[in-house]
Amino acid sequence: MNIKLKIWRQRNATSKGKFVEYQLNDVPAEASFLEMLDILNEQLVLKGEDPVTFDHDCREGICGACGLYINGHPHGRFKNTTTCQLHMRKFKDGDTITVEPWRSEAFPIIKDLMVDRSALDKLIQAGGYISVHTGGVPDANAIPINKHNADLAMDAASCIGCGACVAACKNGSAMLFVGAKVSQFALLPQGQVESADRVQKMVARMDALGFGSCSNTYACQAECPKGISVTNIARMNRQFLAAKIAEPIKK
Amino acid sequence: MGTKGLSSITKKLIMAITGGGLVFFLLFHGAMNVVSIFSEDGYRWICEFLGANWYAIVGTIGLAILMALHLIYAFVLSWQNFKARGRQRYAVNERPEGVSWASKNMLAIGAFILFGLVFHLIDFWSKMQLAEIKGGAPVDGIDQIKFIFANNYFSVMYLLWLVAIWFHLSHGIASVMQSIGWNNLVWQRRIEWLGKFFAAVIVMMFVSVVIYYWLIV
Amino acid sequence: MNFLDSKIPAGPLAEKWTKYKAEQKLVNPANKRKLDIIVIGTGLAGASAAASFGELGFNVKVFCIQDSPRRAHSIAAQGGINAAKNYPNDGDSVQRLFNDTIKGGDYRAREANVYRLAEVSNSIIDQCVAQGVPFARDYSGLLANRSFGGAQVSRTFYARGQTGQQLLLGAYGALSKEIEKGTVKMYPRREMMDLVVVDGRARGVIVRNLVTGELERYSAHAVVIASGGYGRVFYLSTNAMSSNGSAIWQCYKKGACMANPCFTQIHPTCIPVHGDYQSKLTLMSESLRNDGRIWVPKDAEKARLLREGKIKATDIPEDERDYYLERRYPSFGNLVPRDVASRAAKERCDAGYGVNNTGRAVYLDFKEAIQRLGKQAVEEKYGNLFEMYERIVDENPYVTPMMIYPAVHYTMGGLWVDYELQTTVKGLFAAGEVNFSDHGANRLGASALMQGLSDGYFVLPYTMQNYLADQINEKPLDENLPQFEEAELAVRQRITRILSINGDIVTDNIHRRLGRIMWEKVGMSRTEQSLKEAIEEIKALRKEFWTRVKVPNVEGMNTELEKALRVADFLEMGELIARDALMRNESCGGHFREEYQTPDGEAQRDDEHYAFVAAYEFQGVDNEPILHKEELKFENVELKQRNYK
């Protein structure tokens, strides 16, 4: 199949970017979207041009490295799909495909389609964990956990940290990302020990990092490649408000 | 106001509580209006009850505070969210499935509602409670309704305004539940539909009064 | 003293680790603060080690190649993690996990290391549960287990099909906690370029900042390499795109021995190859073999029709299907170890029974499982894998059987380490897939996660102290020492040389061709001739690389340069793998030499001559390395022909 690509090119964080058009012919329909970009890059390198830079790694939808804004959607318009899992057979011969980087104040562009998502790491560092040390923990079966809650925790924990929720949100909000992490631990007895502290610290960090706030459009849920539910945000809100009243921490 | 010190979730909570309060006010207001269709005397009694009495004035001030907070935080949050979105916008944007139009345009719809509210207050409140507070005599409620909705232009504008209110509430009510944390996987769908239904009930009460006095009386 | 001193503690097997811990040297808390440790890589081994060092009070500097430590390829492990908990009461024990691992590795692993691995396996599960890893549970609220290849007990803990992800996020959480505390400093988007050795000890690294393109120097009292395996020497593999062997290779060139490089694992359940442009292969968890049945048509003519797309898999009636694993290995059936399953698939395809348009695929069928358990139960267990398959192949596995074919997945070989996980360079430690130690010639399913976390949480935090106890008087090194200068200069020259070639072939092209040589000649089955050919072809390809590769010369971020630097190393590594495979005149585990097989086609070990670890010492790129042998002594298990029949 033949396609036309409109790709955002930007040399580095400070330079001004622009769209550049590329015509790409004979793209195999079985190729993944990233393999299509590989083909383009191979041609660019041979022509002596700078290839298109984008983040990618596992190419099986779990590492969360890839993330392109394709035709108006993070990871393209298909549900529960990461960019690397998007195949060219989903496009039509002659299509024009617009590829943009994640755009959000918290995700500055590094080069072309590659953005800096370290703000997500900083969010986790604020408290997205259970503060146990290695060793000295009870037997794994010492605390039975309701299967239903364990399953919900797993749903929340399946976040791959790609940042599509932030990219999709008109407010550049990371509430789904934080809500999922807060929920995972709030649903588990091990996590409840420090849940009041955790939610307050993570929300404070989220605000400090310049993410927007939630206006409940649920675009994050619609675009999340792992289908993480916004009810996790509701759980976080609940946790946060209860913590603010019952167990507030000093700033 | 010290909005800097409040967390994003607290600000959302303020939006939710003030918005929820306003929804209850609308419910009350709508029910009151419907009375006018069935009993002109009953409606006049309500107007008198909500005149320049201390409790009605306290209620009005409370309402004004709810409204003001809802407005202020709407603008504060929208401004912060606008900044968080970054300077560079997407060239192509498509609303994904499962995202309502209203949810993405709450500020614009809200601004339109505010615009309508100014006229509404001039049309009714300034001639009723406000006039009484100033020491004058309030106009008769039923007469005023008949006067306003006898006018085609006013009636159409009011209906448009009510449609905007429906859109705002269709997202707003469920959104309140989400923001205060009363949402979960089982109730999510139900809350969304209940929100839309509740919004429809409220708006229909107002619409029925407009239609009744415009086309029937 | 032998060049390779494995430092295995004396005493009975079951008491070695306890004894070691009781007698080792420790570093007191005040001194820990003065000691720096560099960790390269943030997968299960790297992240867990770095977090544990931080908790102990050391100053830790961690480097990862991706934008975030959470992206490390451990995240892609699907099936599960083994432990000898014996929760299902089906007869498991530390001893049995040890036996299975030694046997699964075809008796080419060190007893003491494997026993320690089995011993700490239970603590890993406890640790992960305490971290909030949402393992699967029964309705009782207790942990669920599944069975895995190479074992007759159910000892695998899992979190849907995303166990690696959940364990890595647990370790990433622990790491994040230490970063927040300030004990660990994280350096993302940095790639190790060289090891700095001062007075015979590893004392620092040169890294390339992938964003700016600048070279940076970091010093420390010890260096841990946990950068994963080198499977991408085969180009197509289940490894991530940035997985590479360069950190290992730099250490090898600086004096660390490379052990058993030819032991690479071919995973039996991957999605078959579909085209030339393909960048990687996708693994389907081996856990699928618990309920899926593997077959090809009994009739080669039917297989041909399938290949030509004239009939469908579902057209083949039950009695015309050859469930070849169940036929050949009645007691283990579809759950034979990976190497056995992979070779059996290749054998059927080579004999003309393969399906898919390439003829390089066999079926993995869930019809029986769906009938037995119901679609919902199957979906609950494997739903995400089925989805993944459908997305790639565009076929619904609930209706038509999946197609699978083996692909390179894991490298058992790696840097030679002693019992303390220290390489032949003092102060240089290797953890996780980087080292060779625990899996012998073949790794059992769900053991990689176990080993990575064992090394990081429970082994290195002890053994590292034994080394560092002697280093407390060493001041942090000046990064301007001549050794740092020299190392950085050498890296700079290498980069300049690659950029100046400005040839006419892209890096991927050469990498793809290297992969083809490796897969065809150094792959699932090898012969003396194929290996000799491979060595020559790799040498020629290496020459081609250094004269014809084209890498754009751009400032800052240069992803093509990153690839080229890694491929340059693979082009040397491939040769060593072939040399090792050629040296090892036997078949064992993942290493199958066609000349050495039993009459019914099973791997034929030669315990008399080859029960050793082959550790190579670098002598220059174009010179043959020196082979050192570490004899493997088996005092607690009886060496048997592996038999899964």
* 3-state helix/strand/coil string of chain A: CCEEEEEEECCCCCCCCEEEEEEECCCCCCCEHHHHHHHHHHHHHHCCCCCCCCCCCCCCCCCCCCCCEECCEECCCCCCCCHHHCEHHHCCCCCEEEEECCCCCCCCEEECCEECCHHHHHHHHCCCCCCCCCCCCCCCCCCCCCHHHHHHHHHHHCCCCCCHHHHHCCCCECHHHHHHHHHHHHCCHHHHCCHHHHHHHHHHHHHHCCCECCCCCCHHHHHCCCCCCCHHHHHHHHHHHHHHHHCCCCC
Q: Domain C13-79+164-266+410-471, what fold?
A: FAD/NAD(P)-binding domain (3.50.50)
Q: Does A110 touch chain B (CB under 8 A)?
A: no
Residue contact B92–A71, C-beta within 8 A? yes
**What is the token pair recorded at C33?**
């603060």
Instruction: Work out how many CB contacts closer than 8 A connect A with C.
Output: 219
- When pLDDT is averaged across residues A29-39 and rounded to a whole number, the result is 95
User: Nearest 5°: phi and psi at C515?
Assistant: -60, -40
pLDDT, position C150: 76
Amino acid at A49: E
Residue pair A226/A158 in contact (Cβ under 8 Å)? The answer is yes
* Closest approach of C468 to chain A, Cα-based (Å): 19
Angle of helix B8-38 relative to helix B188-211, nearest 10 degrees, comes to 40
User: Chain C 208-237, CB below 8 Å of chain A: which residues?
Assistant: 211
pLDDT, position C143: 97
Domain boundaries A118-246, corresponding CATH code? 1.10.1060.10
Q: Does C623 touch chain A (CB under 8 A)?
A: no
Angle at C587 between CA C581 and CA C592, to 5 degrees: 70
Residue contact C241–A59, C-beta within 8 A? yes
Q: Does domain C267-408 have CATH number 3.90.700.10?
A: yes
**Residue A118: its chain C contacts at CB < 8 A?**
67-68, 188
Residue B29: burial class (beta carbons within 10 Å; 0-12, 13-18, 19+): middle
Write down the catalytic residue from C208, C217, C293, C338: C338
Q: Does domain A3-111 have CATH number 3.40.190.10?
A: no
Q: Does A236 touch chain B (CB under 8 A)?
A: yes
Residue with tokens 């407390």: C472
Touch between chain C and chain A (3+ CB pairs, < 8 Å)?
A: yes
**Residue C559: its chain A contacts at CB < 8 A?**
51, 53
Cα–Cα distance measured from residue C249 to residue C245, given in angstroms and rounded to the nearest whole number: 6
Residue contact A89–C394, C-beta within 8 A? yes
Give pLDDT tens digits for A70-123. Answer: 999 999 999 999 999 999 999 999 999 999 999 999 999 999 999 999 999 999
How many CA atoms lie within 13 Å of C227's alpha carbon, on the beta-carbon side? 31
Using CB atoms, which residue from A11, A130, A158 is nearest to C130? Answer: A130
Using CB atoms, which residue from A60, A81, A128 is nearest to C282? Answer: A60
* Closest approach of A232 to chain B, Cα-based (Å): 8
Mean pLDDT score across all residues of chain C: 95
Cα–Cα distance measured from residue C506 to residue C503, given in angstroms and rounded to the nearest whole number: 8
User: Chain C 347-366, CB below 8 Å of chain A: which residues?
Assistant: none
Residue pair C239/C416 in contact (Cβ under 8 Å)? The answer is no
- When pLDDT is averaged across residues C4-21 and rounded to a whole number, the result is 96
pLDDT, position C388: 85
Q: Buried b / exposed e across C104-117, counting CB within 10 Å, b at 16+? A: bbbbbbbbbbbbbb
Amino acid at C83: A
* Closest approach of B82 to chain A, Cα-based (Å): 6
Residue contact B85–A236, C-beta within 8 A? no
Q: Does A234 touch chain B (CB under 8 A)?
A: yes
Instruction: Work out how many CB contacts closer than 8 A connect A with B.
Output: 146
Nearest CA in chain C to A205: C180
How many CA atoms lie within 13 Å of C496's alpha carbon, on the beta-carbon side? 7
pLDDT, position B2: 41
Residue with tokens 């949810």: B103
Q: Smallest Cα–Cα separation from C43: which of C127, C165, C156? A: C165
Touching partners of C (3+ C-beta pairs < 8 Å): A
User: Chain C 156-185, CB below 8 Å of chain A: which residues?
Assistant: 159-160, 162, 164-166, 169, 172-174, 176-177, 179-180
Cα–Cα distance measured from residue C464 to residue A142, given in angstroms and rounded to the nearest whole number: 31
| Total residue length of chain B | 217
Give pLDDT tens digits for C340-399. Answer: 899 899 889 999 999 998 899 999 999 999 999 999 999 988 887 898 899 889 999 999
Q: How far is CA C165 from CA A63, A202, A232, A247, C72, in A?
A: 8, 21, 20, 32, 9
Residue with tokens 């993690």: C81
Using CB atoms, which residue from A77, A104, A237 is nearest to B86? Answer: A104
- Residues 6+ away with beta carbon under 8 Å from C519: C234, C235, C236, C408
Q: How far is CA C41 from CA A61, C65, C204, C433, in A?
A: 20, 7, 15, 11
Give pLDDT tens digits for C634-643. Answer: 999 999 887 7
Residue with tokens 């070279």: C215
Q: Does domain C482-605 have CATH number 1.20.58.100?
A: yes
Cα–Cα distance measured from residue C317 to residue C274, given in angstroms and rounded to the nearest whole number: 27
**Residue A111: its chain C contacts at CB < 8 A?**
556-557
Give pLDDT tens digits for C416-464. Answer: 999 999 999 999 999 999 999 999 999 998 999 999 999 999 999 999 9
- Coil, helix or strand for C550? coil
Residue contact A106–B84, C-beta within 8 A? yes
- When pLDDT is averaged across residues A5-28 and rounded to a whole number, the result is 96
User: Nearest 5°: phi and psi at A97?
Assistant: -115, 120
Cα–Cα distance measured from residue C244 to residue C72, given in angstroms and rounded to the nearest whole number: 12
Residue with tokens 């079926």: C363
Q: Does B80 touch chain A (CB under 8 A)?
A: yes
| Res. C544: pLDDT tops 90 | yes
Domain ranges of chain A: 3-111, 118-246
Touching partners of A (3+ C-beta pairs < 8 Å): B, C
**What is the token pair recorded at C391?**
């997305």
Nearest CA in chain B to A102: B90
Give pLDDT tens digits for C167-187. Answer: 999 999 999 999 999 999 999
- Residues 6+ away with beta carbon under 8 Å from B84: A104, A105, A106, A171, A172, A173, A210, A211, A212, A213
Using CB atoms, which residue from C68, C173, C279 is nearest to A59? Answer: C279
Residue pair C196/C223 in contact (Cβ under 8 Å)? The answer is no
Residue contact A170–B81, C-beta within 8 A? yes
Q: What's the 3-state SS for C151-208?
A: CCCCCEECCCCCHHHHHHHHHHHHHHHHHHHCCEEEECCEEEEEEEEECCEEEEEEEE
| Res. C1: pLDDT tops 70 | no
Residue contact A239–B89, C-beta within 8 A? no
Residue A30: burial class (beta carbons within 10 Å; 0-12, 13-18, 19+): middle
Q: Does B88 touch chain A (CB under 8 A)?
A: yes
Cα–Cα distance measured from residue C168 to residue C324, given in angstroms and rounded to the nearest whole number: 36
Our answer to whether residue C372 is catalytic in this structure is: no
Q: Does C2 touch chain A (CB under 8 A)?
A: no
pLDDT, position B3: 47
User: Nearest 5°: phi and psi at A102?
Assistant: -55, 135
Q: Smallest Cα–Cα separation from A213: which of A242, A167, A172, A181? A: A172
Q: Smallest Cα–Cα separation from C73: which of C508, C452, C540? A: C452
Q: Buried b / exposed e across C496-520, counting CB within 10 Å, b at 16+? A: eebbebeeebbbbbbbbbbbbbbbe
Residue contact B91–A231, C-beta within 8 A? no
Residue contact A240–B80, C-beta within 8 A? no
Mutate to test the interface with A, among B3, B4, B6, B9 (most CBs of A within 10 A): B9
* Closest approach of A103 to chain B, Cα-based (Å): 7
Cα–Cα distance measured from residue B48 to residue A97, given in angstroms and rounded to the nearest whole number: 65
Q: Does A55 touch chain C (CB under 8 A)?
A: yes
* Closest approach of A65 to chain C, Cα-based (Å): 7
Cα–Cα distance measured from residue A220 to residue C43, given in angstroms and rounded to the nearest whole number: 28
Amino acid at C526: R
Distance of CA A192 to the CA centre of its chain: 25
Domain ranges of chain C: 13-79+164-266+410-471, 267-408, 482-605
Residue contact C554–A31, C-beta within 8 A? no
Q: Does B105 touch chain A (CB under 8 A)?
A: no
* Closest approach of A136 to chain B, Cα-based (Å): 35
- Residues 6+ away with beta carbon under 8 Å from C210: C65, C189, C190, C191, C557, C562
**Residue B88: its chain A contacts at CB < 8 A?**
17, 103
Using CB atoms, which residue from A46, A116, A147 is nearest to C550? Answer: A46
**Residue B93: its chain A contacts at CB < 8 A?**
72
**Residue C133: its chain A contacts at CB < 8 A?**
157
- When pLDDT is averaged across residues A202-212 and rounded to a whole number, the result is 96
* Closest approach of B65 to chain A, Cα-based (Å): 22
Using CB atoms, which residue from A138, A146, A185 is nearest to C132? Answer: A185
| Res. C2: pLDDT tops 70 | no
Q: H or E element: which one contains C60?
A: strand C59-63
**What is the token pair recorded at B108?**
């614009």
What residues in chain B have per-residue pLDDT under 50?
Answer: 1-3
Share of chain C above pLDDT 90, in %: 88
Which residues are C205's β-sheet partners?
A: C195, C218
Q: Smallest Cα–Cα separation from C453: which of C100, C68, C170? A: C170
Residue contact A222–B98, C-beta within 8 A? yes
pLDDT, position B4: 58
* Closest approach of A20 to chain C, Cα-based (Å): 18
* Closest approach of A131 to chain C, Cα-based (Å): 7
pLDDT, position A251: 61
Amino acid at C538: I
Nearest CA in chain B to A17: B88
Number of other CB atoms surrounding residue C28 within 10 Å: 11
